[in-house]
Amino acid sequence: MQQSPLLWLDDMSVRFELGQSRGSEPVYAVTDARLRLFPGQVLALVGESGCGKSVLASALLGLLPANAWSRGRALLSSGTDEDVELLAAPESVLARGVRGRRVGLVPQSAATHLTPVRTARAQLSEAFRELRGRVDRAEVDALARRVGLDPHDLDHYPHELSGGMAQRVAVASALVADPPVVIADEPTTGLDRPLVERVTDLLGELADRERGVLLITHDLDAAARVATHVAVMYASRVVESGPAAEVFGEPWHPYTKRLLAALPEGGFQPVPGHPPALTELTELEREWGCVFCLRCPETPGVAPCNGEPELVEHGRRSVAAHPPC
Amino acid sequence: MLSARGVVAGYARGPAVLDGVDVSVPRGSVRGLAGPSGCGKSTLARVLALLQRPWSGTVELDGREIRGARYSVPREARTSVGIVFQQPRPAVDPRMTLCEIVSEPLRVRGVRQLRSGVEELAEVTGLDAELLGRMPHEVSDGQLQRACLARALAPRPRYLICDEMTGMLDASTTAALVRVVIDRVTEEGLGVLAISHDESLLRAWAGNDVIRW
């Protein structure tokens, strides 16, 4: 039986208006994203820095700044709760019904997200009080153990914790209400390999318990370790998605191939050129047909593409393809 | 050769982080140093970059011992060893443009043609020249790290310490920056100590010349 997705994104776009001082071109942070997150999946959203991954996460949680606007659909549907259209929902619904309760967030650089003047226990207890209505010390300790922390570690202030311990406190905070969806935004940046493995394994355990995890990362090794599915983002667009083993094993999009070739074990060849500025995407598409052409090995920067790429679906995979260049 | 001999070092009244460490960095090659968090890799990086005085033991730069009552290392020695840190943001003055950040060591070196010097370094490190007028908060981590590498290469150091230089960066930027450094090794005989917790990355940098802690 096919389960229904926990999170259902259709033609989701996010733009930032920079105002007149910087010219009138908006920043195209996310363009027509189409993703599904099912229970039991770890969906890794990968790509170079600045391609729009984190903005997508912020948009889902209603955490975009005031100069942003979004379009399209992002439906959260889990269990018996009412479906919520995340992009259209008012802040009161997101704050009381979604964040923490139905979607947990593991933030980037956890150490800076914790209040420096209170102990980890005080902060975790606050989350219990808010989300579960009461604080039971034994439950707090049990959650700490589940994420690999000694309960005594909780009695420390954030500056007394290592980066990896602070990261686990953040994971624990995201799990207080046992939300069906967990969004982890670069949870492994700056951690060393054993800690990366612990954090990613924790996310894998959540998926084993039929939760859905959206893992946003530029660390392809971490993604390969835990992801069941992967979506590759380039210049605000999802250019390829599918089961992780298939996408990593046989990438279809030239950008995915280039990204894998940049890994030490893939040949250590940087993707030539730079990602385009997100303010120049419309011009780039007008001139070149697709946003990747300038860096595409098949069109070495001499001839424009002869067609706008369209998302081609084949079985469980999809790829942004255009008529052969 | 840049070497640490019997170096003991630590912070304030805490225990010694390095306890009798011997490591040497020859010119014209890359040596890797791998180890878990908290094993003292970054402390060694600071000692070798002459930023931190060891409690005991010595640092030798091309056969000359670095010493001094207040560790006032001569400028010639200081500019001989460059360092790039893991996090570019705390490593730069947020009030300076990227151009000013990269040009500061050139000015110290007495280079007159600052603008062309900076542009040349930007090109070497793959930093888009359009970004040079921006402030650190207006560029990404990867772009800022390119500027930090350009700054470290500006005084034409003989040695470069890369302390988790690519820890915050995506795979493509990582490969690009490593390539920039390796080009300097083969073209100018730069001696590099590449520090990381990621051994597979270090093997791509340094081949089999990886020290494990």
- Are A274 and B126 a contacting pair at CB < 8 A? yes
User: B208 and chain A: CB distance < 8 Å anywhere?
Assistant: no
pLDDT bin (cut points 50, 70, 90) of residue B200 is: confident
Give B24's strand partners: B3
For residue A230 the two structure tokens come to 């992967």
Taking Cα atoms as reference points, which of A181, A183, A201, A182 lies closest to residue A191? Answer: A201
Distance from the Cα of A110 to chain B's closest Cα (Å) equals 14
Compare CB distances from A192 to B142, B170, B197 and report the shortest one's residue. Answer: B197
Three-state SS for A184? strand
Asked whether B161 and B83 are in contact (CB, 8 A), the reply is yes
- Residue B69 pLDDT > 70, yes or no? no
- For B129-143, the pLDDT digits (tens) are 889 999 998 888 889
- Residue A293 pLDDT > 80, yes or no? no
N- to C-terminal Cα distance for chain A?
40
Helix (H) or strand (E) holding B119: helix B114-125
Chain A: residue whose CA lies nearest to B131? A277
- Are B171 and A194 a contacting pair at CB < 8 A? no
User: B173 and chain A: CB distance < 8 Å anywhere?
Assistant: yes
Longest dimension (CA), chain B: 47
Q: Which of residues 169-208 of A touch B (CB under 8 A)?
A: 189-195
Cα-flanking dihedrals φ and ψ of residue A215, to 5°?
-105, 115
What's the CA gap between A256 and A275, in Å, rounded?
Answer: 14
pLDDT at A51: 86
Residue linked to tokens 């229904």: A4
For residue B70 the two structure tokens come to 């207040």
Q: Dihedral through CA B200, CA B201, CA B207, CA B210, nearest 10?
A: -80
Distance from the Cα of A259 to chain B's closest Cα (Å) equals 6
- Are B173 and A270 a contacting pair at CB < 8 A? yes
Helix intervals (H) in A90-235: 91-93, 120-132, 137-146, 163-175, 193-208, 220-226
CA distances from A258 to A87, A103, A264, B127 (A): 33, 33, 12, 20
Cα-flanking dihedrals φ and ψ of residue A292, to 5°?
-95, -15
Cα-flanking dihedrals φ and ψ of residue A169, to 5°?
-60, -40
| Residues on chain B touching A272 (C-beta within 8 angstroms) | none
- A101: DSSP letter: T
Could you give the strand order of the β-sheet that contains A310-314, starting from the edge strand earlier in sequence?
A103-106, A181-185, A212-217, A42-46, A229-234, A237-243, A317-321, A310-314
DSSP characters over A198-246 = HHHHHHHHHHHTT-EEEEEES-HHHHHHH-SEEEEEETTEEEEEEEHHH
- Residue A67 pLDDT > 90, yes or no? no
pLDDT at A155: 94
CATH of A7-102+179-244, one of 3.40.1050.10, 3.40.50.970, 2.20.28.90, 3.40.50.300: 3.40.50.300
Interface with B, mutate which of A109, A186, A218 (most B CBs under 10 A): A218
So where are chain A's domains? Answer: 7-102+179-244
Above pLDDT 70, what percent of chain B? 98
pLDDT bin (cut points 50, 70, 90) of residue A301 is: very low
In this structure, of A278-282, B62-66, B193-197, the range with the lowest mean pLDDT score is A278-282
User: B168 and chain A: CB distance < 8 Å anywhere?
Assistant: yes
- Residue A243 pLDDT > 90, yes or no? yes
Asked whether A156 and A122 are in contact (CB, 8 A), the reply is no
- Residue A299 pLDDT > 60, yes or no? no
- Are A49 and B87 a contacting pair at CB < 8 A? no
- A4: DSSP letter: P
ipTM of the shown complex:
0.76
Burial class (CB in 10 A: 0-12, 13-18, 19+), A202: buried
Cα-flanking dihedrals φ and ψ of residue B159, to 5°?
-130, 150
Compare CB distances from A263 to B142, B167, B171 and report the shortest one's residue. Answer: B171
For residue A301 the two structure tokens come to 């920067």
**E strand spans, B42-87:** 56-61, 64-66, 81-84
- For A164-175, the pLDDT digits (tens) are 788 889 999 999
DSSP characters over B138-204 = GS-HHHHHHHHHHHHHTT--SEEEEESTTTTS-HHHHHHHHHHHHHHHHHH--EEEEEES-HHHHHH
- Residue A247 pLDDT > 90, yes or no? yes
Q: What is the arithmetic mean of pLDDT over B12-21? A: 89
- Residue A295 pLDDT > 90, yes or no? no
What's the CA gap between A292 and A295, in Å, rounded?
Answer: 6
What's the CA gap between A192 and A190, in Å, rounded?
Answer: 7
- Are A190 and B174 a contacting pair at CB < 8 A? no
Which of A19-33, A104-118, A276-290, B64-78 shows the highest mean pLDDT? Answer: A104-118
- For B80-120, the pLDDT digits (tens) are 999 999 989 999 999 999 999 999 998 888 888 899 999 99
Beta pairing class for A229-234 and A42-46: parallel
- Residue B13 pLDDT > 60, yes or no? yes
What's the CA gap between A20 and A69, in Å, rounded?
Answer: 17
Chain A: residue whose CA lies nearest to B130? A277
Enumerate domains of chain B plus CATH numbers.
2-62+76-212 (3.40.50.300)
Compare CB distances from B175 to A162, A191, A270 and report the shortest one's residue. Answer: A270
- Are B172 and A258 a contacting pair at CB < 8 A? yes
- Are A220 and B203 a contacting pair at CB < 8 A? no
| Residues on chain B touching A220 (C-beta within 8 angstroms) | 171
Interface with A, mutate which of B170, B173, B178, B213 (most A CBs under 10 A): B170
pLDDT at A91: 93
Residue linked to tokens 């040695």: B159
pLDDT at A74: 95
